Amino acid sequence: MTALTGMRANVRRDLKDEDASNYRWSDGEIDRAIEKAVLVYSSYCPLTQLDNTIHTVDQGNTVNLSTLADRIDVVKVEHPVDTLPYPSHRFRVWGDVLTFEDGYTGDGGVCNIYWLKKHTLGETSTIPAAHEHIIAMGAVAFAVSSQSQYQVNLANTGGQTVNRDYTAWATSAFEAFYRSLERVRSYKPGKLVTSELIIET
C-alpha cells in the first residue's frame, strides 16, 4: 500500500464513504483534496532543507535557485563557507533568482542555503506520522467543500438550502483543520526553522 492509498482510505473512513459500489467522491476527487491539504500543511510545517552545492557567481550578486524543487521559501544564506562562523547576508528572491543586497558579491564558491520545501504524499510520504491525521482532516474539509459547491451547481431551485448540510460540515472541518495547523506550526516568516529550535534571523 502506498502512502497515498493509505491516506485515501483514512479520508474515506472519516467521510463515511467506504461503500466502493456507491462512492460519493471519486478517487481523483479524494486525491485532489489530499493534495490541497498537503499544500496548506506545508505552509505551516514545511520540510527544512540545507543545500551546500549551489555556487555563487564570481563578482556577481545573484544565485540560481532553480535546482531547489518545490521550494516554499529561503530563510538564510551563508557565504563564504570556508571559515567558521559562516557569515550570513541580506537577500531578496524573485522567481528562481536570489540577489544579495547591501552590495555583497560572491566569489564563485558554494554557499549554504537554508530553505523550506513542500511536503510530498504519494508512493512515499514526508508527512510526520504524528501529523497524518491533520492531513486527513484537511482533505475531508476540501472534499466536503467541493461537494457543497457541486450540489449548488446541480440544483435548479432551492438556492443555498440545497447544500446547507455540506456547507456546515465543511465549515466545521476547516475550523478543526486550521486549529490543528496553528498548534503544530513550525514556520513563521523571518524565522529559521530547525528540527530542534526556531532561530530568529
Query: Which residue, 117, 151, 170, sits at the end of a domain?
Result: 117
Angle (CA) 172-3-147 rounded to 5° is 35
The verdict on 80 and 164 lying in the same domain is: no
Full residue range of the structural domain in which residue 192 is found: 3-45+121-200
Low-confidence stretches of the chain (pLDDT beneath 50): 152-158, 192-201
Residue 135 sits in the same domain as residue 195: yes
| CB contact at 8 A, 111 and 84 | no
pLDDT at 6: 97
Share of the chain above pLDDT 70, in %: 86
Pair 150, 172 in one domain: yes
d(CA 170, CA 78) in angstroms, rounded, equals: 44
Domain limit, last residue, from 68, 96, 117: 117
Number of separate domains in the chain = 2
Q: Are residues 83 and 134 in the same domain?
A: no
Question: Both 179 and 160 in a single domain?
Answer: yes
* pLDDT score, position 194: 43
Task: Give tens-digit pLDDT for 54-108.
Answer: 999 999 999 999 999 999 999 999 999 998 999 999 999 999 999 999 999 999 9
Hey, what's the cell of 121?
A: 504524499
pTM attached to this predicted model:
0.84
pLDDT in the model for residue 157: 44
Same structural domain for residues 107 and 133?
no
What pLDDT sits at residue 146?
84
